[in-house]
Structure 1
């Protein structure tokens, strides 16, 4: 009887990205500069109390206080304080004419605003 070999499991990512979001971010990065990472976080403000933030950043700015998730060589970075509110976040992208752009599906949000760019926890 053949024994099943344990499969290597990839570490879970605290910030998830759909294929469409990753493709769009990579295209935007090419316009900015090829060696940038994506920083995702939260800040106070917005319709529901906290708003999402995303921006490209030089990898040299990654600190020990950051969690880094690798997507085939592309790094997504989140500070640990923001990660308390974002762990499990799914970042998606749609090119629909109405309602298109980046969409955040956050399992930690107790409420979200109509624009989808802010939330309450």
Structure 2
């Protein structure tokens, strides 16, 4: 498991596979971007995960920022309430592959693993 550089346990953990895949996607875009992770209303279980690249200049003062050897993972303060302790993993399996979210705060998750309550 890749640990963020921070004196305390990071609120969002990334597996080595997830970090490698995110960095490869970012490199294809040819820009120095950070990854914003959050939640929004919706999905079959009530809340759905969201993540997208964004410019580091969009990082707000109250965002949680986790540094993975120079790559920043950012989360807004409301989302971190639902995501603290989240592990983001990636699998390239043909069935069930893609990003997987393991959230210790989720009471219930949907079958696809992309939403929770």
Q: Determine the C-alpha separation between the residues in 2 that align with 1:11 and 1:24.
A: 25
Instruction: Give aligned pairs, total.
Output: 112
TM-score w.r.t. length of structure 1: 0.90
Structure 2 counterpart of 1:27, from 17, 24, 27: 24
Give, in angstroms, the shift of residue 34 of structure 1.
3.1
Q: Give the TM-score normalised by structure 2.
A: 0.93
Aligned mate of 1:108, from 105, 108, 112: 105
What residue number does 2:3 align with? none
Distance in 2 between residues matched to 1:72 and 1:37, nearest whole Å: 12
State which structure, 1 or 2, has the greater radius of gyration over its C-alpha atoms: 1
Unaligned runs of 5+ in 1: 1-8
RMSD across aligned positions (CA): 1.0
Q: Which runs of 5+ in 2 are unaligned?
A: 1-5
CA distance in 2, matches of 1:17, 1:41: 14
Q: Distance in 2 between matches of 1:115 and 1:81?
A: 24
**4+ residue stretches of structure 1 with deviation over 2 A?**
none
